[in-house]
Amino acid sequence: MNSQVRKAFESDKQAISDVVIAAFGDMQGQEIADLITDLMADPSAQPSLSLVATSNENVVGHILFTNAQIKHSQRMVSSAILAPLSVHPEYQSQGIGGQLIKEGLKQLKAGDVELVFVVGHPGYYPKYGFSPAGISQFEAPYPIPAENAGAWMVQELQPGIIGHVRGQVVCADALNDPKHWQE
């Protein structure tokens, strides 16, 4: 399948919402679409990176990375949270999610982001370089039940951070709700 990844435009807002609702279902999808809108307007989420995947000029996937901080860290660490990732069901299992992740990480690394966090499926995100964040001594903004601890993951984009920095991750205000921290 031929798809391209590019930065999202304001004019993509409805198409992104449509993809999210299709990917997650009507009720949860609308909540996630609203969260994306809230994050894009939230000053504490900035800088953010919003990318879309397109096929034949139609938006078929979306990924959002927002600013994060590490509380009680020995030094400032440029960090981001990946949330959410959505691919239209008709285009899933074709590598689009991976394209979005790879391009997002590439752009964040070029922008000197050092760490990226995600709460996601522990069978999916490790394929893209993520590993358990808890064992690296990074606490999620809200406690994650022990049975889901593997869903809280981190990726080091700049060498020498993991093992030298630890603390609680602080997310954007719009993402600061326990319901967003469940896998």
Which candidate, 15, 54, 56, 57, places its Cα nearest to that of 36?
Answer: 15
pLDDT at 183: 59
Dist CA 78 CA 84 (whole Å): 19
DSSP character string of 12-78: GHHHHHHHHHHHH-HHHHHHHHHHHHHHHH-GGG-S-EEEEEEETTEEEEEEEEEEEEEET-SS---
pLDDT in tens, 139-163: 999 988 889 999 999 999 999 999 9
Split into its structural domains, the chain has a count of 1
Instruction: Judge whether 51 and 15 are in contact, CB under 8 Å.
Output: no
**How far are the Cα atoms of 16, 59, 111, 179 from residue 80, in angstroms, in the given order?**
20, 23, 11, 19
Residue ranges making up the domain that contains 111? 4-181
Residue 34: give its domain's CATH number: 3.40.630.30
Dist CA 88 CA 107 (whole Å): 23
pLDDT in tens, 4-40: 999 999 999 999 999 999 999 999 999 999 999 999 9
